Structure 1
Amino acid sequence: MKAQLLRVFTYPPPRPWNALPPATFSAVAMALVQVPNLEEFYQFISERPGGVYLEDLARAGWPDKTQATHLANALLTQSRLDIITVGEKILLKAVAPQLALKLSRLEATTRSVYQQIEKAGDRGAWSKSLKDQTKLQQHTITKAIKELLKQQLIKEVKSVQNRNRKVFMLIDLEPSLEVSGGTWYKDGEFNYSWVETLREYCLTFMDKNHGRPASQAELHRFVMQHPGPQVPTEEDILCIMKTLELDEEVSSLVTSDGQRVFMRRRKGGFDQPMDIFAARLPNFLRQAEGEGRLVVPCLCCPLRNECKAGGRVCPEKCEFLTRWLQPPEDPVGNEDVLMDW
């Protein structure tokens, strides 16, 4: 009975390995090498987000380039690996399992559109450029984009440079400043309300300080305590303060240690007059550091409304205007105070 079963399960009789065609033998042998090492190969690459080169694989235990190539091809067919050409070298980067599963379900044309969007990076790609790069018809491009949006693989972003154009990029990428416009834009439109909110935050902080000078870092820390649609940087806060300075809401000066500080201006008073074009106290009250000449004294002169040609207060007799017009290589050295008109 046992002999009969053995004959049944071994029919037809197995062929020896050396009887197989060379191509079949090579494929089977390679499969036996691939299967136990494929997951280990993928794990090694996935642990290195920056990718690995063939030289890295050789040092890690895959010295045979043919074997590494077969393993890489096996992962490529499963959409678990990206191959990037860097100069004359080949860089292998692992694809996350969930993303690989989504990519494996895509049609060839949709996969081609996805790859072009991926290459565009944080600047994005628009439909015309995708059509030129993939050589596909427009309706095919539209269908592929809808499928990629449905699978949440890409997103569409309004470009501030081209109001009527939407670009597409990978869903986990932040648009570049050229596309998004930075802190001051939302959905491709200038966010006026957010700018006004930041201005109010800065003025509120300065009012709470009761006249004490406030630094750029202090203002930024206060603003960061109030969440908003964007996360402003210290440079963004400096831009906000410059708008307040031009509106004559605040004044600024540079301290001896090179730090710029801001102060709330008093409405209607001349105790802290300021040249808004030079962003400092006017030089008829304080000599400019490192200069030796005066800067636009007329803009902040408390008698500017009375100044007229031939009058008691006039440009012809103004010593400060004369000193300001002196060439920088021959400054007037006397330290006069504000004249009594």
Structure 2
Amino acid sequence: MASLASSRAGTGEDTPKLEILKDALYEEMIQHGDQERLYNQSDLMGLNVIPKNDLSLLLNVIQGLTADQLVVAVSDSRAGIAWRYRSREDAKKYSSLPDTETQMVFALIDEAGADGIWSKTLRNRTKLHDAVLKSVLKTLEGKGYIKDMKSVEHPNKKMYIKAGLSPSERATGGPWYTDSNLDEAFIVGLEEVIYNFVKMKSTYSRPTKQPTKGVVGRKRTANDISTDADGTPTPAPVAQGPAGGRKLPAYLPYPAGYTYYPTAREIAEFIARSGITNNTTLSEDDVQQLVDILVYDGLIEPVVVARRKGYRTTRITKQEPDVPQQDGMEEEEKRLGAEPPTNGYVEAPCGRCPVYELCEEGGPVNPSGCVYFQRWLGHD
């Protein structure tokens, strides 16, 4: 690339005018985009800084900014050669470097951004000898321009990142990793919190007591369910047994038309308000990952009502909250306290009747006089 002095001499432009145009063009580039934006020749002309759209003058100005490390040329697949600007602080860092090898290595680390770059990649791209590369990296670390980093994707690789940058979630593993190690206890605890929150918001409870003789119970409709001021359902009160003994509630699913199943955003907001994650901030996408795991495990399921995607627990038909764990349940289900598998058929007397094969109308055992049905309905 021709030097700035020779380019000025070729066009007869004086130094003061070029300096003014350089500052003006640089400021306009800052005003019209961030450091990632690429400006092609038309874009730079469109900033209305270069008088009379003088192409040779634009070339001189760009060469001057490049020499000052304020602008860097890049190859764009669509526009060909393009330019992007650097901050004045970064430009000073580049200008302070002793040689082109050091500038080249620093530029590659700078371009890698928050993902960092592997030392072997630096060696392959710069074609520098190992001893030279180690010396350059030591120089940059000594100036405080770069630092080494750990990556969960490449735990055994020596990675470097520009000083002042925080490693990306891709490198750190996001909130699920602590010191580059998967924090299983943190994940398990959050899964339990999410499961219990969804269970609380997607079921209602009632005391487990036998109905009064001759009175048939009625399941509540969507309109029967009382709500709080924010629209969330109010759980049914738990009855008190004799001598103040507390009767355990049975959890029941809400009827059709219920619209308050918790969404991923509401779950994320609940976790944020609770403060259980301490200094770790979880985004809605982070919470969605845990929700998806519970869905894949069959513990909760999505339900769409009025274009609103919420979640509810599965297998919630008249289950006691403290049922003993049964064989056949998955470890994940036992850990989260999920209810054992059941269905309406096994709840009815016929599903577990010891004399089912003898039961028929007119026989010694028949549906009309079934003592098990009378007991199940509370009529005896």
CA deviation vs aligned residue, 1:162-214 (integer Å, no higher than 9, x gap): 32113223346565555333331234221234324534653675688695664
1:218 aligns with 2:208: no
Mapped contact 1:157–1:187 kept (Cα < 8 A) = no
Alignment correspondent of 1:234: 284
CA deviation vs aligned residue, 1:12-31 (integer Å, no higher than 9, x gap): xxxxxxxxxxx799358333
Measured in 2, the distance between the counterparts of 1:255 and 1:185 equals: 32
Structure 1 SS opposite 2:14: helix
1:64 aligns with 2:54: yes
Alignment correspondent of 1:47: 31
Structure 2 SS opposite 1:30: coil
Alignment correspondent of 2:226: none
Measured in 1, the distance between the counterparts of 2:293 and 2:149 equals: 29
Change (3 A) 1:61 1:193: same
1:45 Cα deviation (Å)? 1.9
1:134 Cα deviation (Å)? 0.9
Mapped contact 1:152–1:171 kept (Cα < 8 A) = yes
Q: Give ranges in structure 1 of 5+ residues lacking alignment.
A: 1-22, 286-296, 315-338
Change (3 A) 1:34 1:26: same
Q: Normalising by the residue count of structure 2, what TM-score does the alignment of the two structures yield?
A: 0.57
Alignment correspondent of 2:83: 92
1:268 aligns with 2:323: yes
Measured in 2, the distance between the counterparts of 1:91 and 1:43 equals: 17
Structure 1 stretch displaced more, 180-189 or 147-156: 147-156
Q: Normalising by the residue count of structure 1, what TM-score does the alignment of the two structures yield?
A: 0.62
Letter in 2 for 1:217: R
1:29 aligns with 2:12: yes
Measured in 2, the distance between the counterparts of 1:188 and 1:237 equals: 20
1:128 Cα deviation (Å)? 1.2
Change (3 A) 1:131 1:247: closer
Measured in 2, the distance between the counterparts of 1:204 and 1:239 equals: 17
What percentage of aligned pairs have identical amino acids? 20
1:192 aligns with 2:200: no
Change (3 A) 1:145 1:204: farther
Which of the pair has the greater relative contact order for Cα pairs under 8 Å at 6+ separation?
Answer: 2
Measured in 2, the distance between the counterparts of 1:162 and 1:93 equals: 30
Letter in 2 for 1:69: L
Structure 2 SS opposite 1:144: helix
1:130 Cα deviation (Å)? 0.7
Structure 2 residue corresponding to 1:140, chosen from 132, 136, 155: 132
Alignment correspondent of 1:332: none
1:224 Cα deviation (Å)? 2.0
Alignment correspondent of 1:321: none
1:75 aligns with 2:65: yes
Change (3 A) 1:242 1:110: same
CA deviation vs aligned residue, 1:122-162 (integer Å, no higher than 9, x gap): 44321111111111122332232233344443343322233
Measured in 2, the distance between the counterparts of 1:86 and 1:143 equals: 32
CA RMSD between the two structures: 4.5
Measured in 1, the distance between the counterparts of 2:19 and 2:302 equals: 70
1:281 Cα deviation (Å)? 11
Paired residues in the alignment total 272
Change (3 A) 1:26 1:236: closer
1:96 Cα deviation (Å)? 0.9
Alignment correspondent of 1:328: none
1:111 Cα deviation (Å)? 0.8
Measured in 2, the distance between the counterparts of 1:96 and 1:69 equals: 21
Measured in 2, the distance between the counterparts of 1:61 and 1:25 equals: 18
Change (3 A) 1:253 1:200: closer
Measured in 2, the distance between the counterparts of 1:57 and 1:141 equals: 36
Structure 1 SS opposite 2:149: strand
Structure 2 residue corresponding to 1:124, chosen from 116, 125, 128: 116
Alignment correspondent of 1:334: none
Change (3 A) 1:247 1:81: closer
Letter in 1 for 2:64: A
Change (3 A) 1:257 1:312: farther
Letter in 2 for 1:54: Q
